[in-house]
């Protein structure tokens, strides 16, 4: 799909990290980007910097997302590129030691449901609402293409670690959405894919550099090549290529510097 000057895009979580880099990269290609985020100050600032718009959107609230898409379309027209980076979750082991009561306690169903809403359900919500708008718009090319949706999963979807019961399983669910949704949407000319980032130098991770430099060095060394954390711009570059290449559909990409590679 040709990413033409003025084409509309929506990026959730676009106020920081991978979403911010994705919004910047799409704007650099001439797209008009609407940022969805709950951080109004950062979201407004970045939207202004890239010549886009901002909508305060809580991805766990159906009406908030509906209203966000309405605002985005009013500003720039029907989005043809949607990138979903926003999420909320909680961390904890399936069973953890309760020091106060001297016994094991279970990760609560409420905590699990919170993560499922903030990762998996929100991914379906954003993707399906965007697809609905695309389906009712005219195709943009002779292939009948109407748009491209990219979800953010994680390498934890395949390699969930200790304390990632919620995160890993829900990110696996995000990957699981891709193929059936792609089949549902193929006759409408709408593509959907996911990206599984590894360890990236987002603001959250960069905070560790000063707090725990030893851990920071270990994380960098854990990447086979290059021996560093990923740059958000590298994630954004893949986002743009997925949107641009009409032959990429129903795929889950690992973007991780080969951290799954067995040690030599």
Active site residues: 167
DSSP 8-state code for residue 58:
-
Q: Dihedral sign, CA of 243, 194, 174, 46? A: negative
Backbone conformation region of residue 165, classed left if phi is above 0, alpha if psi is from -120 to 50, else beta: alpha
Strand segments, DSSP code E, in the chain are: 8-12, 32-37, 53-56, 79-84, 95-98, 103-106, 147-152, 190-197, 252-255
φ, ψ of residue 3 to 5 degrees: the values are -90, 95
Residue 151, CA distances (Å) to 57, 79, 168, 206 in order: 17, 15, 15, 23
Q: Tell me if 38 sits within 8 A of 58, measured CB to CB.
A: yes
Residue 91, CA distances (Å) to 76, 100, 160, 210 in order: 37, 19, 12, 22
**Closest of 250, 151, 245 to residue 194, by C-alpha:** 151
d(CA 71, CA 86): 18
């Amino acid at each position: 799909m040709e990413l033409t000057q003025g084409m509309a895009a929506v990026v959730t979580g676009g106020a920081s990290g991978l979403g911010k880099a994705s919004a910047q990269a799409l704007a650099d290609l001439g797209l008009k980007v609407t940022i969805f985020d709950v951080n109004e100050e950062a979201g407004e600032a970045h939207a202004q910097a890239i010549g886009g718009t901002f909508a305060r959107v809580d991805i766990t609230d159906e009406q908030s997302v509906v209203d966000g898409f309405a605002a985005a379309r009013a500003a720039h027209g029907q989005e043809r590129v949607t990138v979903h980076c926003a999420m909320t979750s909680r961390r904890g082991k399936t069973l953890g030691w309760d020091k106060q009561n001297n016994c094991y306690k279970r990760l609560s169903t409420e905590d699990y449901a919170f993560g499922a809403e903030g990762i998996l359900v929100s991914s379906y919500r954003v993707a399906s609402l965007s697809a609905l708008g695309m389906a009712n718009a005219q195709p943009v090319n002779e292939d009948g293409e109407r748009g491209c949706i990219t979800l953010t999963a994680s390498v934890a979807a395949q390699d969930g670690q200790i304390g990632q019961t919620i995160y890993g399983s829900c990110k696996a669910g995000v990957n699981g959405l891709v193929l059936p949704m792609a089949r549902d949407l193929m006759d409408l000319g709408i593509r959907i894919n996911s990206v599984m980032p590894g360890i990236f130098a987002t603001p959250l991770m960069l905070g560790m550099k000063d707090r725990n430099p030893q851990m920071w060095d270990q994380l960098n060394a854990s990447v086979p090549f290059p021996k560093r954390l990923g740059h958000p711009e590298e994630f954004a570059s893949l986002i743009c290529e997925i949107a641009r290449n009409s032959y990429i559909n129903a795929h889950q990409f690992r973007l991780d510097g080969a951290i799954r590679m067995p040690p030599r």
